[in-house]
Protein backbone atom coordinates (compact mmCIF):
# COMPACT_ATOMS: atom_id res chain seq x y z
CA UNK A 1 0.00 0.00 0.00
CA UNK A 2 1.32 3.40 -1.00
CA UNK A 3 0.44 6.68 0.70
CA UNK A 4 -0.27 10.11 -0.76
CA UNK A 5 -0.80 13.04 1.59
CA UNK A 6 -2.42 16.07 -0.01
CA UNK A 7 -1.10 19.22 1.65
CA UNK A 8 -1.25 22.01 -0.92
CA UNK A 9 -4.46 23.80 0.06
CA UNK A 10 -4.35 27.57 0.16
CA UNK A 11 -6.11 27.96 3.53
CA UNK A 12 -8.27 30.86 2.31
CA UNK A 13 -11.14 30.23 4.72
CA UNK A 14 -8.68 29.67 7.58
CA UNK A 15 -7.02 33.02 6.94
CA UNK A 16 -3.48 31.71 6.58
CA UNK A 17 -1.52 28.48 6.32
CA UNK A 18 -3.50 26.13 8.55
CA UNK A 19 -0.86 23.41 8.25
CA UNK A 20 1.49 25.58 10.34
CA UNK A 21 -1.08 25.89 13.15
CA UNK A 22 -0.11 24.49 16.56
CA UNK A 23 -1.57 21.15 17.67
CA UNK A 24 -0.28 19.91 21.03
CA UNK A 25 3.04 21.72 20.69
CA UNK A 26 3.80 20.71 17.10
CA UNK A 27 2.69 22.02 13.76
CA UNK A 28 -0.38 20.42 12.19
CA UNK A 29 1.60 18.89 9.32
CA UNK A 30 3.95 17.23 11.85
CA UNK A 31 1.03 15.96 13.91
CA UNK A 32 -0.55 14.39 10.83
CA UNK A 33 2.68 12.66 9.78
CA UNK A 34 2.72 10.83 13.12
CA UNK A 35 -0.90 9.67 12.65
CA UNK A 36 -0.06 8.10 9.28
CA UNK A 37 3.23 6.66 10.56
CA UNK A 38 1.53 4.86 13.47
CA UNK A 39 -1.14 3.42 11.18
CA UNK A 40 0.79 1.39 8.63
CA UNK A 41 4.21 0.69 7.14
CA UNK A 42 3.56 2.14 3.68
CA UNK A 43 5.70 1.19 0.69
CA UNK A 44 5.99 4.52 -1.14
CA UNK A 45 5.09 7.65 0.82
CA UNK A 46 4.40 10.83 -1.13
CA UNK A 47 3.45 14.31 0.00
CA UNK A 48 2.30 17.10 -2.30
CA UNK A 49 2.62 20.63 -0.92
CA UNK A 50 3.36 24.22 -1.89
CA UNK A 51 5.32 24.83 1.30
CA UNK A 52 9.07 24.07 1.34
CA UNK A 53 9.09 23.79 5.15
CA UNK A 54 6.54 20.98 4.95
CA UNK A 55 8.34 19.27 2.06
CA UNK A 56 11.69 19.41 3.90
CA UNK A 57 10.17 17.89 7.05
CA UNK A 58 8.52 15.04 5.16
CA UNK A 59 11.64 14.36 3.08
CA UNK A 60 13.58 13.83 6.33
CA UNK A 61 10.88 11.32 7.30
CA UNK A 62 11.28 9.16 4.19
CA UNK A 63 8.70 10.75 1.88
CA UNK A 64 8.95 11.44 -1.81
CA UNK A 65 8.16 15.15 -2.01
CA UNK A 66 6.31 16.89 -4.82
CA UNK A 67 6.10 20.65 -5.07
CA UNK A 68 2.74 22.02 -6.21
CA UNK A 69 3.48 25.62 -7.09
CA UNK A 70 0.00 26.22 -8.49
CA UNK A 71 -2.58 25.09 -5.91
CA UNK A 72 -4.96 27.68 -7.32
CA UNK A 73 -5.43 25.35 -10.31
CA UNK A 74 -7.69 23.19 -8.16
CA UNK A 75 -7.58 20.33 -5.70
CA UNK A 76 -7.19 17.75 -8.45
CA UNK A 77 -3.75 19.14 -9.36
CA UNK A 78 -2.13 17.57 -6.29
CA UNK A 79 -3.84 14.24 -6.98
CA UNK A 80 -2.59 14.29 -10.57
CA UNK A 81 0.98 15.19 -9.59
CA UNK A 82 1.07 12.26 -7.15
CA UNK A 83 -0.48 9.79 -9.59
CA UNK A 84 1.99 10.79 -12.31
CA UNK A 85 4.82 10.07 -9.87
CA UNK A 86 3.32 6.70 -8.85
CA UNK A 87 2.99 5.68 -12.50
CA UNK A 88 6.71 6.28 -12.98
CA UNK A 89 7.98 4.30 -10.00
CA UNK A 90 7.45 0.77 -8.76
CA UNK A 91 4.14 1.12 -6.93
CA UNK A 92 2.26 -1.36 -4.77
CA UNK A 93 -0.89 -1.43 -6.90
CA UNK A 94 -3.04 0.55 -4.48
CA UNK A 95 -2.74 3.92 -2.83
CA UNK A 96 -4.29 5.53 0.22
CA UNK A 97 -5.01 9.22 -0.29
CA UNK A 98 -5.17 11.29 2.86
CA UNK A 99 -5.16 14.94 3.78
CA UNK A 100 -2.95 16.92 6.12
CA UNK A 101 -5.61 18.87 8.01
CA UNK A 102 -7.62 16.11 9.69
CA UNK A 103 -6.07 15.80 13.19
CA UNK A 104 -8.97 13.94 14.83
CA UNK A 105 -8.44 11.05 12.41
CA UNK A 106 -7.20 8.06 14.39
CA UNK A 107 -4.34 5.84 13.26
CA UNK A 108 -6.60 2.86 14.01
CA UNK A 109 -9.10 4.10 11.42
CA UNK A 110 -6.38 4.22 8.76
CA UNK A 111 -5.29 0.72 9.72
CA UNK A 112 -8.91 -0.46 9.59
CA UNK A 113 -9.58 0.86 6.08
CA UNK A 114 -6.36 -0.71 4.80
CA UNK A 115 -7.01 -4.09 6.46
CA UNK A 116 -10.62 -4.28 5.26
CA UNK A 117 -9.66 -3.19 1.75
CA UNK A 118 -6.90 -5.80 1.51
CA UNK A 119 -9.27 -8.54 2.70
CA UNK A 120 -11.94 -7.57 0.17
CA UNK A 121 -12.14 -7.96 -3.59
CA UNK A 122 -13.02 -4.28 -4.03
CA UNK A 123 -10.86 -1.78 -5.92
CA UNK A 124 -11.87 1.44 -4.11
CA UNK A 125 -12.49 2.16 -0.44
CA UNK A 126 -13.74 5.15 1.50
CA UNK A 127 -14.29 5.97 5.14
CA UNK A 128 -17.93 6.72 5.92
CA UNK A 129 -19.84 7.95 8.96
CA UNK A 130 -23.64 8.18 8.89
CA UNK A 131 -23.65 8.24 5.06
CA UNK A 132 -21.05 11.03 4.97
CA UNK A 133 -17.97 10.09 2.97
CA UNK A 134 -14.55 11.32 3.96
CA UNK A 135 -10.82 10.79 3.83
CA UNK A 136 -8.85 8.65 3.65
CA UNK A 137 -9.76 6.86 0.43
CA UNK A 138 -8.01 3.99 -1.34
CA UNK A 139 -7.79 3.48 -5.08
CA UNK A 140 -6.35 0.56 -6.98
CA UNK A 141 -3.80 1.56 -9.61
CA UNK A 142 -6.32 0.62 -12.32
CA UNK A 143 -7.92 4.03 -11.62
CA UNK A 144 -4.75 6.07 -12.13
CA UNK A 145 -5.71 7.12 -15.65
CA UNK A 146 -9.18 8.21 -14.50
CA UNK A 147 -7.69 10.20 -11.63
CA UNK A 148 -5.52 12.02 -14.17
CA UNK A 149 -8.69 13.10 -16.00
CA UNK A 150 -10.31 14.81 -13.00
CA UNK A 151 -11.49 18.39 -13.52
CA UNK A 152 -9.93 21.23 -11.51
CA UNK A 153 -12.22 21.06 -8.48
CA UNK A 154 -13.00 17.34 -8.67
CA UNK A 155 -11.65 14.74 -6.31
CA UNK A 156 -11.86 11.04 -5.59
CA UNK A 157 -15.59 11.22 -4.81
CA UNK A 158 -16.25 11.50 -8.55
CA UNK A 159 -14.71 8.05 -9.08
CA UNK A 160 -16.46 6.65 -6.01
CA UNK A 161 -19.83 7.67 -7.48
CA UNK A 162 -18.91 6.38 -10.95
CA UNK A 163 -17.76 2.97 -9.66
CA UNK A 164 -20.08 2.52 -6.67
CA UNK A 165 -20.21 -1.28 -7.10
CA UNK A 166 -16.44 -1.43 -6.67
CA UNK A 167 -16.41 0.59 -3.45
CA UNK A 168 -15.87 -0.82 0.02
CA UNK A 169 -17.30 1.61 2.57
CA UNK A 170 -15.61 1.41 5.96
CA UNK A 171 -17.96 2.75 8.61
CA UNK A 172 -16.68 4.63 11.63
CA UNK A 173 -18.54 5.83 14.71
CA UNK A 174 -17.10 9.28 15.35
CA UNK A 175 -17.88 11.87 12.68
CA UNK A 176 -15.23 14.19 14.16
CA UNK A 177 -12.59 11.97 12.56
CA UNK A 178 -13.69 13.27 9.15
CA UNK A 179 -13.34 16.91 10.19
CA UNK A 180 -10.94 19.07 8.16
CA UNK A 181 -9.55 22.23 9.70
CA UNK A 182 -10.86 24.78 7.22
CA UNK A 183 -11.77 27.67 9.53
CA UNK A 184 -10.57 29.11 12.83
CA UNK A 185 -13.81 27.86 14.44
CA UNK A 186 -13.01 24.29 13.38
CA UNK A 187 -9.44 24.71 14.62
CA UNK A 188 -10.60 25.76 18.11
CA UNK A 189 -13.13 22.92 18.15
CA UNK A 190 -10.35 20.45 17.32
CA UNK A 191 -8.04 21.91 19.99
CA UNK A 192 -10.79 21.46 22.56
CA UNK A 193 -11.25 17.82 21.51
CA UNK A 194 -7.52 17.02 21.54
CA UNK A 195 -6.51 18.68 24.84
What does the DSSP assignment read for 34-89? HHHHHH---SSEEEEES-HHHHHHHHHTT-EEEE-S-GGG-THHHHHHHHHHHHTS
Q: What are the 10-residue block averages of pLDDT along the chain, 195 residues in total? A: 90 78 94 98 97 97 95 88 95 94 97 98 96 95 96 91 97 95 92 86
pLDDT at residue 11, as a whole number? 66
Are β-strands 22-23 and 26-27 bridged in parallel, bridged antiparallel, or unpaired? antiparallel
Cis peptide before 136 (omega within 30 of 0): yes
CB 177 within 8 A of CB 108: no
Q: What span, in angstroms and rounded, lies between the C-alpha atoms of 181 and 102?
A: 6
State pTM to two decimals: 0.95
Phi, then psi, of 109 in degrees rounded to 5: -70, -40
pLDDT for position 17: 82
Task: Say what the pLDDT of residue 30 is.
Answer: 97
Which of 134, 119, 101, 135 lies closest to 10, judged by CA? 101
CATH topology of domain 2-194: Spore Coat Polysaccharide Biosynthesis Protein SpsA; Chain A (3.90.550)
Question: Angle at CA 160, nearest 5°, toward 55 and 153?
Answer: 55
Q: CA-to-CA distance for 111 and 88, rounded, in angstroms?
A: 26
Domain residues of the chain, as ranges? Answer: 2-194
pLDDT of residue 130: 92
**Backbone torsion region of residue 16, taken as left when φ is above 0, otherwise alpha when ψ lies between -120 and 50, otherwise beta:** left
Report strand pairing: 2-7 vs 45-49: parallel
Amino acid sequence: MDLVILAAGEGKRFGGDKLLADIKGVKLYQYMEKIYKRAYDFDNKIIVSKDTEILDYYKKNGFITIYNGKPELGKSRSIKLAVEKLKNIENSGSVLFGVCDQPLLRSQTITKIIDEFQQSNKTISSVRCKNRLGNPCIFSSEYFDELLLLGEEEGGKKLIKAHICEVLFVDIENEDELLDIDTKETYYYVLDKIH
